[in-house]
Amino acid sequence: MNNDFRRKIFYSLILAFLVYVGLILWNDWSQLAAALTDFPWLSLPLILALALANDLGRLLKWQWYLQLLGVKITRVDSARIFGVGMLMVMTPGKAGEFLKSYMVKNVTGTSMSITAPIILAERITDGMAMLLLGSAGLFAFPEVAARRIALFVLACFVIAVIVIQIRPLALWFLAMGQRLPVVKKFASHLNNLYESSYLIFKPRNFLISLGIGLLSWAAEGLAFYVVLRGFGVVASFENALVAIFILCMSTVIGAVVATPGGLGGVEGGLATLTVRLLGLGAAPATAAALLIRFSTLWLGVCIGVISFLLWPHLLAGSENVRREQIALGD
């Protein structure tokens, strides 16, 4: 792992520390500690199992995409790459996730320009799944700004998919781009990027991956519902839907903020929406936000750290990869 990447992870950890200190200071420490003390910790295994179900769903989608593109790689190797890639969530805007394509190249020799669209597809299908899951409460939610952000993100996703599937239009954009001096040298990589994207976003393939995303993020939303139940939220089907809505919309807001792991945006969204929509006090709402983040984000980071320690060779030579190559090709 190169020094630049280590530095980004270090800064991300500092940011996480500051965010969580800020959340603690925003609340009464004694009330926050009391809420965590009274939490029924026997429900933690169920929370972790539901959070891991989301990770498992995303792993299956990653492996399916590789198979769809004809990449010759074993499921064991692709799972190892996915595990190391979970550490990349701590890079700004998750940009480090493109190193998964580099690791695939290390293992199989497949050009990064062929597999890089998988990262884009993961973002789009996960984002659309979360917005669809949250759509039941989207227009009922009184915060106009959050509604506009969600609709803007959804519109961007839909436009991207449509442009990719209208082949003459996409090829025209490619031809225009390839006339630019800087872009011209990446012409072959751009073509690979487009061909992979076109295949991934074909209606059947897109709907399958979207379905996986819906199930995965519904599981994580239910994990948040179990957390909220532990802090006193009444058990009901409606509250389960609200919990899924809060989790999904907070994650989308965190993605728009583009901090490492959505730090600040996700936690703030979780706590604020829980107070406003479920009437929970500020201290238990913050405690719920912290607990679900430790069960999802930080659990994933721990898996990423362990995976990297076990298989550091997957990233061998990554310090020589230029940013343009991470985005476009070899």
Q: Sign of the CA dihedral 98, 104, 109, 110? A: negative
| pLDDT number for residue 152 | 75
pLDDT over 60 at 53, yes or no: yes
Structural domain total, the chain: 1
Paired tokens of 35: 């809420």
pLDDT over 90 at 292, yes or no: yes
Length of the chain measured in residues: 330
Nearest to 104 by CA among 260, 305, 330: 330
Contacts of 4 (CB under 8 A, 6+ apart): 319
Percent of the chain with pLDDT over 70: 81
Q: What is the pLDDT of residues 237-261, one digit of tens each?
A: 889 988 999 999 899 888 877 777 8
- To the question of pTM greater than 0.85 for the whole model, the response is no
CA 176 to CA 70: how far, in whole Å?
A: 29
Domain that holds residue 301: 3-328
Nearest to 213 by CA among 322, 155, 107, 131: 131
| pLDDT number for residue 284 | 93
Concatenating the DSSP letter of every residue in 154-205 gives HHHHHHHHHHHHSHHHHHHHHHHHTTSHHHHTTHHHHHHHHHHHHHHTSHHH
Ramachandran sector of residue 74 (left: φ over 0; alpha: ψ -120 to 50; beta: rest): beta
The more confident residue out of 17 and 227 is: 227
